[in-house]
């Protein structure tokens, strides 16, 4: 992980969109911010407890067959289209734009994910977070949030406890989504100053800690209790993921 050498000041690591790993399986087009499957970069194994950030597009009617997970917190954020989920806990659901899904794999769970529609793709972020406690009983959570509630503000979507309708995960981590007009500034205050924040631009452009970020760029920020997010474009959207800075 790249960083400046002065540990008394804010630390950052920048990942430009075109440096991500990429896998095109025909039915699945996936970009990997961190090492995943056939993509391996020793400098990009994780950012603290954030282990996987995949930007996936799945063709109509296609998807991931039943497969296992254990001891991982898995968050899905649909960006476009509808994703059908089934798991060994008995859940059969559809998640769509505005929904947030979280699954604590714990001691082990099987699940499948398919594009619900045959005539259009589904686009979603799949995010894995290293859990706080291992071998817990598997759990599932899903909520529907209102995108208008994140206009020029940050809307909490994930947390260690149910807050303002967010999903819960087995980690002291907080995720937020925000949609901003051009010229808007907002200060993000960390829930725990010992944590770090990984910012991921969904649309538009932002400036954070002196770094100019465009669509699908990512920036890790740590060793600070707060930082300012400046929107440089109209209808700019960003995802913030605050996580413990594990070694």
Q: Is residue 2 in some structural domain?
A: no
At residue 162, the pLDDT reads 86
CATH number at residue 161: 2.60.120.10
Q: Is residue 82 in some structural domain?
A: yes
Order of all β-strands in the sheet with 206-208:
185-189, 226-231, 206-208, 211-213
At residue 16, the pLDDT reads 98
**Cβ contacts of residue 247 below 8 Å, gap of 6+?**
none
At residue 19, the pLDDT reads 98
- 3-class secondary structure, 105: coil
Range of the structural domain that residue 125 is part of = 11-243
Q: Is residue 16 in some structural domain?
A: yes
Q: Is residue 1 in some structural domain?
A: no
Q: Is residue 205 in some structural domain?
A: yes
At residue 8, the pLDDT reads 63
- Asked if 101 and 76 count as a contact pair (C-beta separation under 8 A), the reply is yes
Q: Is residue 84 in some structural domain?
A: yes
Report pTM.
Answer: 0.95
Q: Is residue 103 in some structural domain?
A: yes
Q: Is residue 3 in some structural domain?
A: no
Residue-wise pLDDT for 193-232, tens only, equals 999 999 999 999 999 999 999 999 999 999 999 999 999 9
Number of domains in the chain: 1
- 3-class secondary structure, 19: helix
**Cβ contacts of residue 144 below 8 Å, gap of 6+?**
98, 99
Which regions in the chain score pLDDT beneath 70?
A: 1-8
At residue 7, the pLDDT reads 47
């Amino acid at each position: 992980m790249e960083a400046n050498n002065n540990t008394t000041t804010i630390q950052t690591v920048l990942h430009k969109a075109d440096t991500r790993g990429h896998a095109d399986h025909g039915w699945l087009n996936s970009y990997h911010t961190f090492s995943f499957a056939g993509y391996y970069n020793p400098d990009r194994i994780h950012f603290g407890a954030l282990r996987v950030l995949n930007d996936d597009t799945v063709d109509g009617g296609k998807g991931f067959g039943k497969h296992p997970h254990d001891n991982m917190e898995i968050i899905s954020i649909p960006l476009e289209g509808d994703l059908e989920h089934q798991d060994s806990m008995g859940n059969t659901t559809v998640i769509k734009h505005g929904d947030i899904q979280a699954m604590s794999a714990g001691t082990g769970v099987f699940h499948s994910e398919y594009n619900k529609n045959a005539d259009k793709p589904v686009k979603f972020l799949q995010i894995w977070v290293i859990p706080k406690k291992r071998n817990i009983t598997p759990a599932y959570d899903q909520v529907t949030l209102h995108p208008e509630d994140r206009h020029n503000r940050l809307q909490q979507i994930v947390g260690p406890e149910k807050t303002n309708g967010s999903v819960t995960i087995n980690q002291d981590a907080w995720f937020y989504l925000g949609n901003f007009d051009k010229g808007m500034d907002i200060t993000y205050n960390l829930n725990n100053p010992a944590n770090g924040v990984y910012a991921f631009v969904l649309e538009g452009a932002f400036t954070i800690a002196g770094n100019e970020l465009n669509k699908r760029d990512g920036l890790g920020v740590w060793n600070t209790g707060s930082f300012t997010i400046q929107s440089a474009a109209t209808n700019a959207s960003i995802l913030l993921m605050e996580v413990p800075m594990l070694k």
